[in-house]
Chains A and B, each alone.
Chain A
Amino acid sequence: MTTTEPTTTEPTTTEPTRTGARTGGRIGEDAQRPDGTLKVTGEFAYSSDLWHDDMVWGVTLRSPHPSARIRRVDVSEALTVPGVSAVLTADDVPGENAYGLEHADQPVLAGEFVRYEGEPVALVAADHPETARRAAARIRVDYEVLPALTDPRRALDDDAPQVHPGGNLVRHLRLRRGDPAPTAPVVVSLDFEVGMQDQAFLGPESGLAVPAEDGGVDLYVATQWLHVDQRQICLALGMPPDKVRLTLAGVGGAFGGREDLSVHVHACLLALRTGRPVKMSYGREESFYGHVHRHPAWMTYEFGAEPDGTLVYGKVHTLLDGGAYASSTAAVVGNAGTLGLGPYRFPSVSVDAYGVFTNNPPCGAMRGFGCVQAAYAHEALMDELAAAVGVDPVEIRRRNGVQEGDRNITGQVIDSAAPVAELLERVAALPLPPPPAERPDLRDLPGAVGNTTHGEGVRRGVGYSVTYKNVGFSEGFDDYSTARVRLQVTGGEAVATVHTAAAEVGQGLVTVQQQIARTELGVQQVVVVPADTTVGSAGSTSASRQTHVTGGAVKAACEAVRTAVLQRAAVAVGRPVAGLALDGDKVVGPGGEVLAGLADVLGEDAVEETVEWRHRPTHAIDPETGQGDAHVQFAFSAHRAVVDVDTELGLVKVVALDTAQDVGKAINPDAVVGQIHGGSAQGMGLALMEEVVVTDGHVRNPSFTDYLLPTILDVPPMQVEVLEYADPHAPYGVRGVGEPPTISSGPAVAAAVRAACGRPLRRVPIRPEHVTGI
């Protein structure tokens, strides 16, 4: 690279080893984060903290209309504003004016049409963000407002407005298994609706693009997958990958919302046009328009069962609103369909899952990815079934839960642990919270210091849920990761360096990489260098896959390094390779006896290996029957929620949210529990308060004033039971951790509220109006 590295203004360079040296820890131990100290002192450089001499600020002008034709864009007045260095429109996109995660259907800047409120139309670069905002306000866009398709239930009607020329269907997943016309003595059914949830990562979309002397650009950005970003940016800029270099800046949370591009191409365009570094950083309101959300869902479910509750069949119709562009809708439909009946045995199944285009905000990846929506429906219906046959909610699930060796609804054999029954038993056995106090502290009551009840109207409810989720990318995707590992002796100490392009987004992958290298190479010092595109793709930090896939790549690269080093050592000490091992800066024999110093074997040399690692292949499903080995691994979790509900006011206090989850192998047990806590809280948020409210294509609550995230007074104490049934097909037996808790927590909370208030509650988030029936 020929450009200056960006830094924050004061002495804030990132030194990965600063605390890494102090912490240590091999796999299975509670290792501390290497970036922990930097994060508690405010020195960790997030993407919005970046700063560069001579930089200018980029801002985006967005469409106020959900559907319109752009007749004309006049930027002349904006260009006259002092301090403005560039104003760009669709005409200024040098490559293809299109990007997209799976289909390049989204313009970098809107050309002829805008298809959702908030779609980017023009860009301004100026010396101060306020200058840029004022200039953007002086861009004249002549819109011809068009009829908008805002009700996804009308998307497939013949007379519906067409969002794209190819029609409004993104994907229809059809799945059929067993008896095509099944009947059963007990039949239960329901309709369920899930609102649009936002990832609401706290670190807003931001990045710094620096033009390079070679005519290319260096982009420092918060993202989940550097290489898929690079591919899309190259297409839009019309540049080869060697001219578009990405480095991961500090990421303030992701949860799926950073899989799609935000500032990426825009910042690069402005940097290349102005010849100056360009910083872009969204505010919270813009962030709501700047990334995809979780798909809202409309679902109709029917279960047939024997009188004892044994399931006979399941019928599902699911509609997901994909919004204006495809993003990852097709894959979300894939999950909502193939995993849409939960971790239960169904002899006969009929599923139709649809993802459609509308003029609503685009929807895509969010933690739980299609399974979250489905879980609300299948878990509510399991409770219905339990009531219909007179069995308790734990027993109905235990009785129908899949076990290792069973086939799921796509006919795939579940070939590692599927401890549905055990998870339920364990979570049910966890101690229950004490009953409400005689004179409770306001802060322990629904409404808290709002002083809405002193116990009046409060009833307690308990709810259960068990769910499962695929880990990694499915349906035949070439899902791999690349790791480069180097071992050398520096200052008398063995140091391993791990380099991948995998995005650390807060989940703790940097720690896991260190733990794996320590374990495989016997070293203490492991430096994880910043992720960038000078090493091969690591795939996405999503689908609970990085510990499995990038962990697998790091393990494999370490093994290759170890083999090379031991071969050298074998020659040096005149012993066979078998039986030799690395321990710190020593080569030891079978009994642990020191045979040589690593420095003696390596001298000044560094041994470096780069490995691309793949999990077992998955396969496309049959388009007619939905059958096939679509997934590589399944992860199971169960939740029990205890709530106190003010049944007169409809306010809810979650008292306990306990869980049991099988993680295969906990590489970092402390971090695993942290993931489960956080995932559970996000699931609870959707159940009770989180919704992007969209009316006629307009977002009505793009702020943290009205998009409510759970506070520390909302999230209860959480008991976590971690099971470790190793998956023999995964490195160290690991099983994805991040998403399952987000899937099973919400349905348990909803069930508990139902139990407390006695109402069906067929929509989340549950509002006080629903609880009170007013």
Chain B
Amino acid sequence: MRVTTTVNGTERTADDVWPGESLLYLLRERLGLPGAKNACEQGECGSCTVYLDGEPVCACLVAAGQATGREVTTVEGLADGTALHPVQEAFVDAGAVQCGFCTPGLVVAAHDLLARVPEPSDPEIREALAGNLCRCTGYEKILDAVRLAARRQAAQ
């Protein structure tokens, strides 16, 4: 089947999509956007988090066809040209990136949190990011990154 969806502001079309495919497969293997990651494909790790119509979702749990006519924003769509988004910059600066496989999902989830709650408490950060597993960092520097991004955004 054909799927047409808007990704990072551009309308994209894919043909011969198998109806059992996920939005994640569509993005990664058909639209050339491998930023969302394929770590568990069961909604248990958050590595594939993307925005669907403005809400953060696991792309692995959205059937590709369900994205027809919707707006998808992936991690590739967060930076403004070559300038990193403050959340992305904070992840680099805080040392919140090791292997980095969880990073795109965490960046999108943290981006969403700070858009809704500009100055989150630690328990709020933890509850908001509880769906994003990281196996490398023990989360300490991820918390640092979110706090840093919040501070920088508040200062702007």
**Residues of chain A whose beta carbon lies under 8 Å from any beta carbon of chain B:** 8-10, 12, 19, 30, 32-33, 35-37, 39-46, 48-49, 51, 128, 130, 200-204, 250-255, 281, 283-284, 441, 443-444, 449, 505-508, 670-671, 673-674, 677-682, 703-705, 709, 711-713, 715, 717-718
Contacts and interface: CB of A to CB of B under 8 A. Distances in A.
Contacts of B141: 673-674, 677
Contact of B137 (A48, A128, A677, A711): A677
Given A200-B135, A704-B42, A42 B84 contact: no
A712 B126 contact: yes
Given A253-B99, A284-B40, A704-B40, A37 B33 contact: no
A441 B125 CA distance: 13
B44 A704 contact: yes
Instruction: Tell which of A41, A255, A674 has the most Cβ of chain B within 10 Å.
Output: A41
A202 B45 contact: yes
Interface in B140-156: 140-143
Given A10-B33, A202-B99, A42 B39 contact: no
B93 A42 contact: no
Given A41-B84, A42-B35, A252 B99 contact: yes
16 contacts: A9-B34, A35-B97, A42-B33, A43-B76, A48-B38, A201-B99, A201-B101, A202-B37, A202-B45, A204-B38, A281-B38, A284-B39, A449-B127, A712-B126, A713-B126, A717-B140
Given A281-B38, A284-B41, A712 B99 contact: no
B18 A128 contact: yes
B104 to A, nearest CB: 5
Which 4 residue pairs of A and B lie closest in terms of their CB atoms, listed nearest first? Answer: A42-B35, A506-B99, A9-B32, A39-B100
Given A204-B39, A709-B135, 5 more contacts: A202-B40, A506-B99, A673-B95, A703-B44, A718-B138
Contacts of B47: 202
Contacts of A46: 34, 37, 101
Contacts, number: 191
Given A251-B99, A283-B41, A704-B42, A201 B135 contact: yes
Contacts of B101: 46, 201-203, 252-253, 506
B138 A203 contact: no
A670 B97 CA distance: 11
Contacts of A507: 98
Interface in B90-147: 91-93, 95, 97-104, 107, 123, 125-127, 129-143
Contact of B98 (A204, A283, A508): A508
A671 B95 contact: yes
B15 interface: no
B79 interface: yes
A251 B101 CA distance: 8
B100 A44 contact: yes
A36 B39 contact: no
A250 B100 CA distance: 9
Instruction: Tell which of A8, A44, A711 has the most Cβ of chain B within 10 Å.
Output: A711
B135 A202 contact: yes
A253 B138 CA distance: 13
Contacts of B140: 674, 677, 715, 717-718
A674 B137 contact: yes
Give the size category of B's interface with A: 35 or more
A19 B138 contact: no
Contacts of A30: 95
Contact of B88 (A41, A130, A673, A705): A41
Contact of A39 (B74, B93, B103): B103
B98 A678 contact: yes
Given A49-B34, A255-B135, A703-B44, A443 B127 contact: yes
Contacts of A443: 123, 126-127
A42 B34 contact: yes
Nearest to B121: A441
Contacts of A204: 38-39
A60 to B, nearest CB: 16
Contacts of A8: 32, 34
A712 B92 contact: no
Interface in B64-81: 74-76, 78-79
B20 interface: yes
Given A37-B84, A252-B101, A284-B41, A43 B135 contact: no
Contacts of A680: 138
Nearest to B35: A42
A305 B130 CA distance: 46
Contacts of A703: 40, 42, 44
Contacts of B84: 37, 40-41
A439 B76 CA distance: 42
A678 B137 contact: yes
A220 to B, nearest CB: 14
B78 to A, nearest CB: 8
A709 B46 CA distance: 13
A428 to B, nearest CB: 21
Contact of B143 (A36, A254, A712): A712
A460 to B, nearest CB: 19
B51 to A, nearest CB: 13
Nearest to B93: A32
Contacts of B137: 674, 677-678, 681
A365 to B, nearest CB: 16
Contacts of A251: 99
Contacts of A717: 140
A43 B42 contact: no
A130 B99 contact: no
Contact of A677 (B18, B33, B138): B138
A40 B97 contact: yes
Given A43-B35, A677-B137, A715-B139, A252 B100 contact: yes
A678 B39 contact: no
Contact of A506 (B107, B125, B136): B136
Contacts of A10: 32-33, 76
B92 A32 contact: yes
Contact of B138 (A255, A449, A715): A715
Contacts of A36: 91-92, 97, 100
